[in-house]
């Protein structure tokens, strides 16, 4: 729950993280224990076994719940583990509507694993809420969206889609990984559940995997706690600590990511060798007005079209500062080639449908000195044929 008296940056540092009652330690300790002493049969201090609860993870869950404005948060071993836990709300025969342009691992989980359990998935362009309304069926239980989408940076109007969902008694989950709660608050806009790959901006230092589900109803808390206990895909104490530590600086990091993102996007927009820039912060982005309305910043995820795989490869081979790697949201600038990395599982046809060409590169602009990032990109672009 939020401490409503405090602002975001204060809550990121203090919520769930009071000094240790026994020792006064300012930081939440890493509780490396698999079990807990019980005083007598049926009497314990609130912890029985570490798959169920761990004080380090508990503190993290309180913190993330506060930042997303939910009523519960449950952490898992990765973003995919969190999404899998979310999908345990479904039963055979249920139907899910999903944004057509999501992280490749999301559609892979849905198509290659969960469809085998009798759950049906329909993919639509959720940037038009009418498409969502048309795709709903009597057996639809969930609409799952990513905004901005990965990697095409298309936005979905969260409030409008929430209205469509709620009119039919369907829940809306939002993958808020690309913006973090600092730049976008899906629950305040009407979403029922928020999920993250905490591996990205929430952790912020490219040193730990994780995932979280933030719920808004008692049934969410009950279900996700129960799934943690039954399936065991929980976040470890050490990774919980890393994430707590990362989250403390989320506000300052996101401010710098956002500032650097804007400068880099403008530089790329003007660069003669870049054919197209996808960034909701640019005035020419078709959903710039929506970005201004539903986000408090534009973030640092930028996708560019270089024209061909050869051009993209020539660029990344010359990078000296930015790193060619999967993932995003770290303090360092990362560059990814969606066609062979995040969206390889879609196949050539699936990628073509979404406009994911072999020449696309996705940048996660870090918080280095922006002049150094620009200089690196400039010299790398100069080597492009
Ligand atoms: C938007 C988004 N959602 C979910 C995931 C999956 O998270 P993880 O890699 O932590 O399992 C990713 C990973 O790249 C992602 O980018």
- CA distances to 42, 153, 313 from 361, rounded to whole Å, are 56, 12, 9
Of 165, 162, 148, the C-alpha closest to 103 is 148
Instruction: Reply yes or no on whether 157 is catalytic.
Output: no
For the domain bounded by 251-382, which CATH number is listed? Answer: 3.90.1150.10
The predicted pLDDT at position 139 comes to 98
Give me the torsion for CA of 302, 103, 156, 355, rounded to 10°: 70
Is 192 annotated in the active site?
no
What is residue 214's DSSP assignment?
E
Closest residue (by CA) to atom 7 of ligand 1? 79
- Closest residue by Cα to atom 16, ligand 1, is 103
Distance from residue 82's CA to the centre of ligand 1 (Å): 10
Determine the topology of domain 8-247 in CATH: 3.40.640
Q: How many CB atoms are closer than 10 A to CB 266?
A: 15
Q: What pLDDT sits at residue 2?
A: 58
Q: How far apart are CA 305 and CA 107, in angstroms?
A: 23
pLDDT at 385: 82
What is the model's pTM?
0.97
Atom number of ligand 1 nearest to Cα 199: 10
User: Is 256:263 a contact under the CB 8 Å cutoff?
Assistant: no
* Å from CA of 176 to ligand 1 middle: 10
Q: Say how many Å lie between the CA of residue 341 and the centre of ligand 1.
A: 12
Q: Report pLDDT for 154.
A: 97
pLDDT along the chain (385 residues), means of 10: 82 95 94 97 95 98 98 98 98 97 93 97 98 98 97 97 98 98 98 98 98 98 98 98 98 98 98 97 98 98 98 97 97 98 92 95 98 98 90
The alpha carbon of 42 and the centre of ligand 1 are apart by a number of angstroms equal to 40
Which entry of 57, 200, 223, 253 is annotated as an active-site residue? 200
pLDDT at 98: 98
The verdict on the CB of residue 209 being under 6 Å from ligand 1 is yes
Tell me if 84 CB under 6 Å of ligand 1: no
Give yes or no: 241 in active site.
Answer: no
Question: Domain residues of the chain, as ranges?
Answer: 8-247, 251-382
Atom of ligand 1 nearest to the CA of 342: 14
175 is catalytic: yes
Label the pairing between strands 72-76 and 95-99. Answer: unpaired
Ligand 1 close to Cβ of residue 298 (< 6 A):
no
Please work out whether the CB of residue 107 comes within 6 Å of at least one atom of ligand 1. Answer: no
CA distance linking residue 146 with residue 287, whole number of Å? 15
For the CA of 198, the closest atom of ligand 1 is 10
CA-closest residue to ligand 1 atom 12: 197
User: pLDDT value at position 292?
Assistant: 98
Ligand 1 close to Cβ of residue 239 (< 6 A): no
- Indicate which residue of 11, 15, 103, 351 is catalytic: 103
DSSP per-residue codes, 67-88? HHT-SEEEEESSHHHHHHHHHT
Give the residue, by CA position, lying nearest to ligand 1 atom 9: 79
Is 173 a pocket residue for ligand 1 (Cβ < 6 Å)? no
For residue 103 and ligand 1, the question of a CB distance below 6 A is answered with yes
Q: Is the CB of 75 under 6 A from ligand 1?
A: no
Distance 76 CA to ligand 1 centre (A): 12
Q: Whose CA is nearest to atom 15 of ligand 1?
A: 103
């Amino acid at each position: 729950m939020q401490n409503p008296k405090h602002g975001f940056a204060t809550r990121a540092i203090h919520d769930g993280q009071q000094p240790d009652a026994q020792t006064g330690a300012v930081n939440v300790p890493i509780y490396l224990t698999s079990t807990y002493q019980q005083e007598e049969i049926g009497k314990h201090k609130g912890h029985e076994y570490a798959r169920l609860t761990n004080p380090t993870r508990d503190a993290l869950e309180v913190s993330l719940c506060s930042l997303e404005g939910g009523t519960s948060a449950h952490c898992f071993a990765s973003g995919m583990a969190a999404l899998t836990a979310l999908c345990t709300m479904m039963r055979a025969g249920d139907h899910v509507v999903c944004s057509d342009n999501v992280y490749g691992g999301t559609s892979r989980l849905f198509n290659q694993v969960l469809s085998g359990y009798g759950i049906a998935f329909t993919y639509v362009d959720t940037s038009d809420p009418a498409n969502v309304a048309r795709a709903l069926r009597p057996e639809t239980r969930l609409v799952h969206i990513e905004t901005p989408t990965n990697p095409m940076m298309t936005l979905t109007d969260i409030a409008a889609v929430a209205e469509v969902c709620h009119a039919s008694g369907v829940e809306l989950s939002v993958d808020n990984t690309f913006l973090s709660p600092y730049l976008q608050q899906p629950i305040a806009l009407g979403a029922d559940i928020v999920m993250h790959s905490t591996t990205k901006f929430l952790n912020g230092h490219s040193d730990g995997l994780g995932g979280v589900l933030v719920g808004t109803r008692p049934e969410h808390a009950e279900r996700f706690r129960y799934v943690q206990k039954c399936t065991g895909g929980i976040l470890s104490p050490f990774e919980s600590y890393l994430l707590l530590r990362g989250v403390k600086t989320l506000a300052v990091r996101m401010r710098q990511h956002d500032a650097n993102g804007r400068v880099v996007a403008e530089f790329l927009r003007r660069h003669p060798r870049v054919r197209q820039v996808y960034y909701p912060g640019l005035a020419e982005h078709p959903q710039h007005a929506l970005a201004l309305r539903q986000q408090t910043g534009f973030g640092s995820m930028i996708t560019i079209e270089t024209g061909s795989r050869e051009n993209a490869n020539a660029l990344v081979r010359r990078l000296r500062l930015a790193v060619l790697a999967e993932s995003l949201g770290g303090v360092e600038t990362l560059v990814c080639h969606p066609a062979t990395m995040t969206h390889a599982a879609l196949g050539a046809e699936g990628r073509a449908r979404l406009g994911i060409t072999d020449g696309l590169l996705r940048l996660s602009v870090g918080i280095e000195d922006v002049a150094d990032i620009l200089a690196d990109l400039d010299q790398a672009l100069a080597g492009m044929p």
